[in-house]
Amino acid sequence: MTAHARKKAGYWNSRLKAFDIVNAALLILVSIVVVYPFYQCVIVAFSDGSDITMNGVVYLLPRKWSLESFKYMLSSADFLIAVRNSVTRTVIGSLFSVLVTSGYAFALSHSDLKLRKLYTVLGLITMYFGGGLIPTFLTIRMVGLYDNYWVYIFPMAFNMFNAMVFLSYFRGVPAALEESATIDGANELVFFFRIMLPVSIPVFACVLLFDAVGQWNAYYDCMIYTQDEGLIVLAHRFAKMLLAAQYIEQRVADAAIAGATAEELMAMRGPVSSLTTQMAAMVLTVVPIICVYPFLQKYFIQGIMVGSLKG
């Protein structure tokens, strides 16, 4: 190698090293920007509510550690009932939704399906338009789902966006696979459950995670369509407790305006605040999803990529 070639190679090596350093620095910066807000929520949740109210939020570590916000969120008598309802609706609702949505997409993936365009249009209408709160409420009550556990399952059984993910994946499966199964005597149901489902695990896991997150975080249907305390879900339970904490904060503010002493204000407020309870509720809600996500991450990424590129 000539001196000029060695000099040129050294120049490009130095440029590549500089690029690697800048790239690593930018990735570290982006990671900090993404992770830090969640980290701050965690340290605020573990902070004393009175300290947060008097001295402001913390940024690195709590000034005064406290578990009172978590104790407050977990102290309600119906907490275990809410956990049971949230877990069961997440498991049953997600599996049922995946079954219904994938069946719809599997049917549409057949070009010889009668009224195929009509079914597609009807599905797209549900994606862009809703019936409105009052008509939906009246329908729920008319069909007997009001104050019924199944109001968590049936109205969320179909999702057109997830159906499109399934459809794009199913269209990429070779038609010869179904033809060979039909020759062997398998009908559509046998082919779907014994052949299509095993080869489509990535997209099934991806959609299952979508549905599970939606079911776990849902509280609006519990608030609107149920009155029985035995049907309360965790997200709605937390929302009600946050409102109670905000009400206490308002009472403390009114008392401060009226001239109450610092001791009286501290006694009214207690060791929690609306901000610390909000952060504690967020941590308690997010942690179960974080625990489940690593087991589905491989399938989630693969399902998103394949479902978006095939078709």
pLDDT in tens, 252-306: 677 777 776 666 666 666 667 777 877 888 888 888 877 777 776 666 655 555 5
Q: Please state the pTM of the whole predicted model.
A: 0.76
Closest CA to 62 of 49, 71, 74, 72: 49
The residue-averaged pLDDT of 128-138 equals 87
- pLDDT of res. 307: 46
pLDDT more than 70, % of the chain? 85
The Cα–Cα gap between 294 and 55 comes to 37
Take residue 112 and report the two structure tokens written for it: 């010889």
The Cα–Cα gap between 238 and 195 comes to 42
The Cα–Cα gap between 18 and 20 comes to 5
Least confident of 45-54, 164-173, 264-273: 264-273
